[in-house]
Homo-oligomer: A and B are copies of this chain.
Amino acid sequence: MSNELRSRLFEELDSIQFVDPHTHINALDPTSSHLGDILGYHYYTELAHSAGLTTQQIEDAAESPRELVPILIEKFGCLDNTIQYSWFSEILSGLFGIEEALDSSNWEQIFNQTESQLGAPDWCDQVFEKSHLKAVFLTNDFDDPLAGFDTDRYIPCLRTDDLVFHLGKPETVSRLNQASGEEVTNRQTLDKAIEKLFEHFKANGARACAISLPPGFQPESIVPGRAEKAVDAILKKGIQADTADQAAVSKYVFWKLAQCCDEFKLPFDLMIGVNRGVYTDGVYQGQDLYDSRVSLIQYRHLFNHFADVKFPISVLASVTNQELVSYSWIFPNVLTNGHWWYSNTPTYIEHDAAARLEAVPRNKQIGYYSDMYKMEFALPKFNMYKRILAKILAEKFVIDRRWTETDAIALGKQVLSDNSESVFGF
């Protein structure tokens, strides 16, 4: 009975159109050109490496999709248990109509077939339609011109990691100068340049500012004198500056971004908890891990100070999810946002989403985002989420709390679809 109920709820959830509130889509090249683009997603290269392919083998093959695909396939026998592998299978069946598993005997034929499907002029529209997508958020570098695409379908989002954590690199400052039209020489001109970025993004339909943060980061306001000294040091010495100055600049810029979010009325997406480059010999994008010993108490000053800024928050580890639930239940400006990266697997999604659905106001939960680089991944990732959401609604609401199916579906629709639009202001 429970399984049939889950299926019914899934069907209803699956009929809903929605916006994907966080992706890494390149609006000028949103879809894959061939299977190599799909299997080049870091989940497949890093898992294949973890299972035994060397980084060298993968990098050597990465230049040519017809070399990369067969060497990855060699490792499918070690990976087909993973949920990430299931995304690939569901892309094959859901978007290409291919029910067979890819293997060494059929890959070339399937490569060719899918390449031709991917080349169809309306492929991208097909993907949007089959995925029930209305629009997707982008992750734009701060110096992105935001030109040449439909900003109603591809919604700009200002990504700010470089400004906060890599201002010591000369190229960051020169990119900032160029993008803002300012000449950054001190704290004042830095402020001005950042404001210019917000003006540019806001004028081009940006709906959010976003950043990923390491577990040790603790935002706080830096007094102007201290900030000036630190900014001067960074501009002069770059990454040779004292670590104390670098840390002060990070905090200063972060706080400035929050001020701009306040002024320009943009939600500030915080993605909390990643350590970059932990595995130094890993494949591209497969080097980052984390220390799960992080607490949202580190953000208390931020949440208290910026009462009018919405902070949709993603946490990297499931052990931080209860804090996220509690902080979202107490702070009006803290919202739950998706299931990020290492927590984007069914066991953790189910535990974390269930806890949110029963304790956080329903208008403050952004259920899911795909985090995808290529449009083809929206379908399987959101389907995974919708199946879990249907399971939770079936078991925890319809069965345990005797909700009607109609009410359960309405709750599902709100976290899957409505809140993305209300929070980011459509």
Residues of A within 8 A of B (CB): 1, 3, 46-47, 49-52, 75, 78-84, 86, 275, 278-282, 286-287, 289-293, 295-297, 300, 303-304, 307, 317-320, 322-323, 325-332, 342-343, 345-348, 351, 354-355, 357-364, 387, 391, 396-397, 399-401, 411
With A331-B50, A359-B83 known as contacts, the answer to whether A279 contacts B303 (CB < 8 A) is yes
Residues of B contacting A355 in the complex (Cβ-Cβ under 8 angstroms): 345, 347-348
The 10 A-B residue pairs whose C-beta atoms are closest, nearest first, are A51-B361, A291-B297, A291-B295, A81-B362, A347-B354, A326-B342, A347-B355, A78-B361, A78-B363, A83-B358
In the complex, how many angstroms separate the beta carbon of A147 from the nearest chain B beta carbon? 36
Copy total for this chain = 3
In the complex, how many angstroms separate the beta carbon of A164 from the nearest chain B beta carbon? 21
Query: Contact between A330 and B279 (Cβ–Cβ < 8 Å)?
Result: yes
C-alpha gap A113/B295 in the complex (Å): 46
**Which listed residue (B295, B330, B399) contacts A293, Cβ 8 A?**
B295
Query: Contact between A361 and B50 (Cβ–Cβ < 8 Å)?
Result: yes
With A323-B317, A361-B78 known as contacts, the answer to whether A281 contacts B295 (CB < 8 A) is no
Residues of B contacting A287 in the complex (Cβ-Cβ under 8 angstroms): 330
Kindly report which residue of chain B lies nearest to residue A287, judged by CB atoms: B330
Chain A binding site: helix, strand, loop or mixed by DSSP?
A: helix
Kindly report which residue of chain B lies nearest to residue A365, judged by CB atoms: B81
Query: Contact between A290 and B297 (Cβ–Cβ < 8 Å)?
Result: yes
Q: Which of A84, A363, A399 has the most CB of B within 10 A?
A: A363
C-alpha gap A289/B330 in the complex (Å): 8
C-alpha gap A281/B332 in the complex (Å): 10
**Which listed residue (B286, B292, B345, B361) contacts A358, Cβ 8 A?**
B345
With A278-B300, A300-B278 known as contacts, the answer to whether A329 contacts B46 (CB < 8 A) is yes
Residues of B contacting A354 in the complex (Cβ-Cβ under 8 angstroms): 346-347
Q: Which of A81, A86, A331, A351 has the most CB of B within 10 A?
A: A81
Query: Contact between B293 and A278 (Cβ–Cβ < 8 Å)?
Result: no
Residues of B contacting A292 in the complex (Cβ-Cβ under 8 angstroms): 295, 319-320, 322-323
Kindly report which residue of chain B lies nearest to residue A415, judged by CB atoms: B81
Pairs A–B under 8 Å by Cβ, sample size 7: A50-B330, A51-B364, A78-B362, A78-B363, A289-B296, A290-B326, A345-B355
In the complex, how many angstroms separate the beta carbon of A390 from the nearest chain B beta carbon? 11
Query: Contact between B342 and A325 (Cβ–Cβ < 8 Å)?
Result: yes
C-alpha gap A414/B46 in the complex (Å): 21
Query: Contact between A304 and B281 (Cβ–Cβ < 8 Å)?
Result: yes
**Which listed residue (B79, B318, B361, B400) contacts A346, Cβ 8 A?**
B400
Kindly report which residue of chain B lies nearest to residue A343, judged by CB atoms: B322
Kindly report which residue of chain B lies nearest to residue A80, judged by CB atoms: B362
Residues of B contacting A80 in the complex (Cβ-Cβ under 8 angstroms): 362
Query: Contact between B322 and A317 (Cβ–Cβ < 8 Å)?
Result: yes
Residues of B contacting A348 in the complex (Cβ-Cβ under 8 angstroms): 322, 355
With A281-B307, A330-B50, A330-B282 known as contacts, the answer to whether A3 contacts B358 (CB < 8 A) is no
Query: Contact between B329 and A361 (Cβ–Cβ < 8 Å)?
Result: no
With A297-B290, A345-B355 known as contacts, the answer to whether A86 contacts B401 (CB < 8 A) is yes
C-alpha gap A81/B354 in the complex (Å): 11
C-alpha gap A83/B320 in the complex (Å): 21
With A81-B362, A291-B295, A320-B292 known as contacts, the answer to whether A50 contacts B328 (CB < 8 A) is yes
Residues of B contacting A359 in the complex (Cβ-Cβ under 8 angstroms): 82-84, 342, 345
Residues of B contacting A346 in the complex (Cβ-Cβ under 8 angstroms): 354, 358, 396, 400
Query: Contact between A280 and B295 (Cβ–Cβ < 8 Å)?
Result: no
Residues of B contacting A364 in the complex (Cβ-Cβ under 8 angstroms): 50-51, 78
Residues of B contacting A78 in the complex (Cβ-Cβ under 8 angstroms): 361-364
Residues of B contacting A400 in the complex (Cβ-Cβ under 8 angstroms): 346, 387, 391
Kindly report which residue of chain B lies nearest to residue A3, judged by CB atoms: B399
**Which listed residue (B79, B304, B331, B332) contacts A362, Cβ 8 A?**
B79
C-alpha gap A330/B43 in the complex (Å): 9
